[in-house]
Amino acid sequence: MLVNNFDVKKSNKILNNNDIQFKDEYELKKSPFLNNNTQFSEEYFPKRPALDLTFKNIRYAVNTWHKLKLVKKEILHGVNGEFRSGELTAIMGPSGAGKSTLLNILAGYIQTGSSGSVLVNGEDRRISGIDRFLKLSCYIQQDDALRSLLTVQESMLVAAHLKLGLQVPLYKKQGQIQELLEMLGLSKHTHTVTKRLSGGQKKRLSIALELITNPPIIFLDEPTTGLDSLSCSQCVQLLKNLASQGRTVVCTIHQPSALVFEKFDHLYAVTTGRCIYQGPINALVPYFSQFDLNCPPYHNPADFLIEVAIGEYEADKDKLTSAASCLGRNTFTSAIIGSQRSKYRKHCPTLSSDEIVEYNKCQPKGPPTILQAYYLFGRNIKSLRRNKSQFILRIFAHLVIAIIFGYLYEGVGNNAYKVLANGVFLYGSNLFLIYTGQMAVVLSFPLEFQMLKREHFNRWYSLFPYLISILLIEIPFQIACCITYLLPAYILTGQSLEPFRLMYFTSILIVTSLTAQSTGFLLGATLPVNISVFIGPVSMVLFSVFGFAIRLADIPITFKWLHYFSFVRSSYQSLLYSVYGLQRDPLPCELNYCHFRYPMKFLTEMDVKDFNMTVEFFYICFICILVYISTSFCIWYRLNKR
């Protein structure tokens, strides 16, 4: 053994002397929720089973291109370790060392490309199923993807409804929320909109949202990123308190201060995908000294660790990796940590795999699908009410364009001399509603997806009710925008006021706009924003050419399928037929001769003489439904691709 007789007290002294000038300042600024004696009540947060994580021979590889060849690049090279309940564990290493990858694998966020085994209390989690493990854990990602227009109380209440379901009464949910906010120092911000919270408050809210189910395992990716020194210290102290109550808390952290570093109970250090140290914080400096790697006086041990990991001080990383692999998790755990764990385990014994399964069955289940959709729809309504400017702007833009088009094409709808101008108006209306329907969601959905990914992975809800809640907002919104444009434009351009023609005209453009909206969802869900904003408009222009700029007889054989496939072509030709077909009477003519006085002549030249508008209408509806199904599948794939 390379590590025999560590002077733990000496190493504590080395660590505690660092940053001593800052300690008094931090102690004066400590918030009430950082009291080490603070405990959650048994009524709302009963004791959870003690769960230890052990991982063996974890490897992870990705496919990458090298000299025009597809090769596998290994990120993790067979790492082993153990993270215990009652401890706050830090995974540290330089950038690109593989610490976030390891955390993602342990949390179950990454599965494809990884190998090895992850054991929960000695049982391989694959035996009972990864889904059961995910019910016992939560993963708080680096970016706080929160609903910015909801208050803290509203965010917590929606999360409680979705996670606890109907088995927990409302008064108990509210009591649980109140206690969580008080414990995490957010009780004074109950009615504050999330976007107005500070970085530290947002991080604590992210933790509070996941603590509603009281998970025994908590994973966090870079929880201190973007926080000032005080907020960083408060955040880590909060995590330490959560761990001291028996939870297994594991987080990645880049380069903490000495004060923050000493708050961790256990350290797992990696470099280039290999472990170079795992053990208590206070044993790090003496351990490295066994390899003639001595931490300079008054130097932050966390900085020293990173410097060693990147090869400074002439560190032999292969030797450190070999030693860490032989030692495994060393036994020099401090007496304080040991006493905390023993005290907790006395009341919460370790459960076997079968006992964990039975325990999960007794936990509150989420609400049924229809209630999930109801809660999510209510959340969307609240957000929309606080962002009225977007709704007003879109409605106003449609109204303004309707007035402009009405002025430019005044009276073209019932004038034989201006039939071609009316055809251009119909084409422009079609394209305008397609663009507005598509582009609004192309830009907004990628932002929404980040929040969806966090909530779905942590088992807030299933995908179907989420999609329903989104469509219940977006579809009526788009229909309202369409009607705002269609009615004024239809009247100002002098179209026929026969009710059935107005009904056909409006129905066709509404369903076309909704189909374009569905393509926007698909593009936003599958492509990066900078690509989707280009592909979307270009594809719609291409589809619109057929039926307007070229006749079917003139289309080359290789492109005829686009004519039949294009829903934009179906929409435009349906508009022409709704306006000039259906046995319309001859049009008034201001001149001696009007070539298109008889509407059927115009339809003949536009290849719309023998046209079945009903079939084309249902074809557009079919494309809309097909695209939404494809979008749902793509989102499901992205959410579940691990």
Q: How far apart are CA 384 and CA 69, in angstroms?
A: 49
Distance CA 519, CA 361 (A): 41
Residue 380 or residue 33, greater confidence: 380
Residue 45 has a CB neighbour count (10 Å cut-off) of 18
Between residues 539 and 548, the one the model is more confident about: 539
Average pLDDT over residues 516-538: 90
Sign of CA dihedral 286, 85, 113, 640: negative
Q: What is the mean pLDDT of residues 455-462?
A: 90
Give the closest residue to 116 by CA, choosing from 90, 92, 73, 80. Answer: 80
616 phi-psi bin (left φ>0, alpha ψ -120 to 50, beta other): alpha
**Which range has highest mean pLDDT (23-37, 197-211, 544-558, 593-607)?**
197-211
Higher pLDDT, 388 or 571: 571
| Half-sphere exposure in the Cβ direction for 563 (13 Å, CA) | 17
pLDDT (0 to 100) of residue 348: 54
pLDDT, one tens digit per residue, over 314-324 is 878 888 888 88
Q: Which residues contact 9 (CB under 8 A, 6 or more apart)?
A: none
Question: Alpha-carbon distance 614 to 612, whole Å?
Answer: 6
C-alpha atoms less than 13 angstroms from C-alpha of 532 in its C-beta half-sphere: 21
Query: In this predicted structure, what is the pLDDT of residue 27?
Result: 37
432 in Cβ contact with 608 (< 8 Å): no
Sequence-separated (6 or more) residues with CB below 8 Å from residue 475: 514, 517
pLDDT at residue 546 is higher than 50? yes
From the CA atom positions of the chain, what is the Rg in Å?
A: 32
What distances in angstroms separate CA 375 from CA 190, 305, 378, 468, one per listed residue? 19, 47, 5, 11
Within 10 Å of residue 619's Cβ, how many Cβ atoms? 17
Cα–Cα separations (whole angstroms), residue 459 to 30, 420, 527: 33, 56, 25
CB atoms within 10 A of CB 552: 12
Distance set, CA 191 to CA 181, 197, 509 (Å): 12, 11, 42
277-286, 360-369, 571-580: least confidently modelled range: 360-369
Q: Report the range out of 77-81, 122-126, 282-286, 464-468 with the highest average pLDDT.
A: 464-468
Task: Compute the distance between CA of residue 570 and CA of residue 547 in angstroms, rounded to an integer.
Answer: 8
The answer to whether 164 and 213 have CB atoms below 8 angstroms apart is yes
Domain segments of the chain as ranges: 8-34+45-143+213-361, 387-640
CA angle 454, 457, 461 (to 5 degrees): 95
What span, in angstroms and rounded, lies between the C-alpha atoms of 536 and 37? 57
pLDDT at 557: 84
Going along 362-433, which residue ranges are E strands? none
Distance of alpha carbon 156 from alpha carbon 141, whole angstroms: 18
pLDDT of 11 strictly over 60: no
Sheet holding 114-120, edge to edge: 69-83, 53-66, 114-120, 123-124
Q: What's the token pair of residue 621? A: 């509806």
Return the structure tokens found at 142: 């680096």
Contact 47, 246 (CB under 8 A): yes
Report the pLDDT value the prediction gives residue 49, as an integer from 0 to 100: 77
Q: Which of 92-106, 170-184, 319-333, 624-638 shows the lowest mean pLDDT across its residues?
A: 319-333
* Among 40-49, 247-256, 523-532, the least confident range: 40-49
Extract the runs of DSSP E, i.e. beta strands, from 7-131: 53-66, 69-83, 88-92, 114-120, 123-124
- Among the residue ranges 136-140, 162-166, 376-380, 597-601, the one predicted with the least confidence is 597-601
pLDDT for the residue numbered 545: 84
What is the arithmetic mean of pLDDT over 523-543? Answer: 89
Mention the CATH class of domain 8-34+45-143+213-361: alpha beta
- Phi and psi at residue 312, in whole multiples of 5°? -75, 170
Classify the C-alpha dihedral 310-312-317-323 as positive or negative.
Answer: negative
Tens of pLDDT along 567-576?
A: 998 999 999 9
Instruction: Check residue 328 and report its DSSP letter.
Output: -
Contact 434, 540 (CB under 8 A): yes
User: Which one of 254-263, 345-354, 503-512 scores highest in mean pLDDT?
Assistant: 503-512
**Sorting pLDDT into bands at 50, 70 and 90, what band is 277?**
very high
Mean pLDDT of the chain: 83
Question: How many contiguous H segments (helices) and E segments (strands) does the chain have?
Answer: 25, 10
pLDDT at 341: 46
3, two tokens: 């590590």
Q: CA neighbours within 13 Å on the CB side: how many for 135? A: 20
pLDDT of 473-482, one tens digit each? Answer: 999 999 999 9
Can you give the pLDDT at residue 40?
Answer: 66
pLDDT confidence band for 349 (50 / 70 / 90): low
SS (H, E, C) 274-313: EEEEEEEHHHHHHHHHCCCCCCCCCCCHHHHHHHHHCCHH
For the segment 328-345, the average pLDDT, to the nearest whole number, is: 45
d(CA 270, CA 128): 29
Q: How confident is the model at residue 200 (pLDDT cuts 50, 70, 90)?
A: confident
CA atoms of 400 and 397, how far apart (whole Å): 5
**Residue 631 pLDDT > 90:** yes
Alpha-carbon gap, residue 86 to 107, rounded angstroms: 18
Of the candidates 264, 228, 246, 240, the one whose C-alpha atom is nearest the C-alpha of residue 91 is 264
The whole-number pLDDT of residue 103 equals 93
- Condensed to tens digits (0 to 9), the pLDDT of residues 208-231 reads 999 898 889 999 998 888 788 888
